[in-house]
Amino acid sequence: MFSHVPPYEGDPILSLMEAFQADPRPHKVSLSIGVYFDGEGRLPVLPSVRQAETALSRDIGARPYLPIEGIADFRAAVQRLLFGAGHEAVASGRIATLQTLGGSGGLKVGADFLRRYFPGAGVWVSDPTWDNHRAIFEGAGLEARSYPYYDPATGGLCFDRMLASLDVLPRRSIVLLHASCHNPTGVDLSKTQWQALIPVLRERELIPFVDIAYQGFGDGLDEDAFALRALADAGIQFFAANSFSKNFSMYGERCGGLSVVCSDRAAADTVLGQLKATVRRNYSTPPTHGARVISRVLNDPALFALWRDETAAMRQRIRAMRERLLAVLDEKFQGRRDFGYLVRQRGMFSYTGLDEAQVARLRDDHAVYLVRSGRMCLSGLTGANVDHVAQSMAAVLA
């Protein structure tokens, strides 16, 4: 009966993780999957999360179905975190927010909604982007194409080409944007560039869909949400999918949100209603545990302050690793090659510019695992392995 079903090739990043786990070399280093590891190379359990769970475990109570849109306190906290507590769009009730199954769930619910109510619209994603962006939108029945983004010549952004390309899109096209800590390149728009993008979005009547999966890993919780706030300030109506997987180190709990910024409260109510219908058709209602924990942390001033510090510590650790890697490489190459991109790029990832053959040599000869594209996840670096990684990079680049 299933002879026509082709085998699944597997997710390339997860396949790499399996190869890494099977690698017997003791000095092996995983810089592939986009997950935050601490200075000991472990997946952290944040003290804020542990404290919230301990408090919750005392009165865990019954587990009814949640409302389709999720826990009310969680949703309110998402809005404050993304847009800022005092933001006019939050206060006026013109944002429709649901609890979703991770950032991926937010993207999928948003994509289904857009497919139904903007049936002719295609989606444009950055070149390159997270592989699953294309897969999720195509899976929802939208056509996905890309706009210029990363410039291999500079290790930065080709903003002029990006803008020119968006400026000729059909009206009501969907534009997927990374708020900060771009995956896979680490290359973000500056504040000035966001401000320059806004008139193009407005004049072309484009529908921005902002993905914010690494809030706190770039420059700070508020700083990393700059794009969302700038768009909302400018009166742009848009979608935002946020993930708590990384900044709470709660990957398996599948916590995130989808927020749609509308013109007014009435529109937001209507949009929320149809988003609920979309969820109902997909998985009916979201799960309880992770959202209760996150809601507790975000709504309790002391736990929130603790969590803010924890996100700062994760961010600073990644920065320190970027700087250390740069220092060792600079010393090796004495100006013969520019590695400045390592500290200009933000978040967990850097595009190293290593080609497939060099990535293969890193893995085969040095037990250092990067994604085939040359993407490096900096959070896999520790004080114990950063020098080995730098020496290995130097060896394959020599």
Which amino acids are annotated catalytic?
Answer: 130, 211, 246
Residue that has been written with the tokens 């800590």 in this structure: 181
CB of 93 to ligand TYF, least distance (A): 32
Tell me how far the alpha carbon of residue 315 is from its chain's centroid.
Answer: 14
Residue in 74, 124, 130, 150 binding ligand TYF, rule: CB under 6 A: 130
User: Distance between CA atoms of 252 and 250, rounded to whole angstroms?
Assistant: 6
Nearest Cα neighbor of 29 from 338, 284, 339, 383 is 383
Cβ-closest position to ligand TYF? 34
Residue 355 CB contacts under 8 Å (≥ 6 apart), including other chains: 374
Within 10 A of 129 (CB to CB), how many other CB atoms are there?
A: 23
Residue 171 CB contacts under 8 Å (≥ 6 apart), including other chains: 204, 205, 206
Residue 362 tokens, joined: 């890193």
Identity of the residue, 99 or 243, whose beta carbon is nearer to ligand PLP in the bound complex: 243
Q: Is 305 in the site for ligand TYF (CB under 6 A)?
A: no
Number of residues located near ligand TYF, criterion CB under 6 A: 7
Within 10 A of 198 (CB to CB), how many other CB atoms are there?
A: 17
Q: Is 352 in the site for ligand TYF (CB under 6 A)?
A: no
H or E element: which one contains 290? helix 289-299
Residue that has been written with the tokens 């970027």 in this structure: 322
Q: Is 11 in the site for ligand TYF (CB under 6 A)?
A: yes
Residue that has been written with the tokens 């988003």 in this structure: 275
Residue that has been written with the tokens 């109902």 in this structure: 280
CB of 138 to ligand PLP, least distance (A): 16
Q: Residue 194 touches which of ligand TYF, ligand PLP, none (CB < 5 to 8 A by kind)?
A: none
β-pair partners for 150: 157
CB of 325 to ligand PLP, least distance (A): 21
The stretch among 9-17, 82-90, 92-100, 262-270 that binds ligand TYF (CB under 6 A) is 9-17
User: Distance between CA atoms of 180 and 168, rounded to whole angstroms?
Assistant: 24
Q: Is 97 in the site for ligand TYF (CB under 6 A)?
A: no
Q: Residue 14 touches which of ligand PLP, ligand TYF, none (CB < 5 to 8 A by kind)?
A: ligand TYF
CB of 366 to ligand PLP, least distance (A): 26
CB of 18 to ligand TYF, least distance (A): 12
Residues forming the site for ligand PLP (CB under 6 A) = 34, 102-104, 130, 183, 211, 213, 243, 245, 256
Burial class (CB in 10 A: 0-12, 13-18, 19+), 3: exposed
CB of 34 to ligand TYF, least distance (A): 3
Q: Residue 33 touches which of ligand PLP, ligand TYF, none (CB < 5 to 8 A by kind)?
A: ligand TYF
Q: Residue 205 touches which of ligand TYF, ligand PLP, none (CB < 5 to 8 A by kind)?
A: none
CB of 243 to ligand PLP, least distance (A): 3
Residue in 33, 66, 136, 200 binding ligand TYF, rule: CB under 6 A: 33
Identity of the residue, 128 or 155, whose beta carbon is nearer to ligand PLP in the bound complex: 128
H or E element: which one contains 360? helix 356-366
H or E element: which one contains 238? strand 238-243
User: Distance between CA atoms of 178 and 300, rounded to whole angstroms?
Assistant: 29
| 124 neighbors 147 (Cβ within 8 angstroms) | yes
User: Distance between CA atoms of 65 and 43, rounded to whole angstroms?
Assistant: 30
Identity of the residue, 51 or 215, whose beta carbon is nearer to ligand PLP in the bound complex: 215
**Residue list 168-187, contact with ligand TYF (CB under 6 A):** 183
Q: Is 18 in the site for ligand TYF (CB under 6 A)?
A: no
H or E element: which one contains 25? none
Identity of the residue, 68 or 176, whose beta carbon is nearer to ligand PLP in the bound complex: 176
Identity of the residue, 51 or 104, whose beta carbon is nearer to ligand PLP in the bound complex: 104
SS3 240: strand
Q: Residue 245 touches which of ligand PLP, ligand TYF, none (CB < 5 to 8 A by kind)?
A: ligand PLP
Q: Residue 256 touches which of ligand PLP, ligand TYF, none (CB < 5 to 8 A by kind)?
A: ligand PLP
Q: Residue 242 touches which of ligand TYF, ligand PLP, none (CB < 5 to 8 A by kind)?
A: none
User: Distance between CA atoms of 18 and 380, rounded to whole angstroms?
Assistant: 16
Query: Which chain residues interact with ligand TYF by CB under 6 A?
Result: 11, 13-14, 33-34, 130, 183
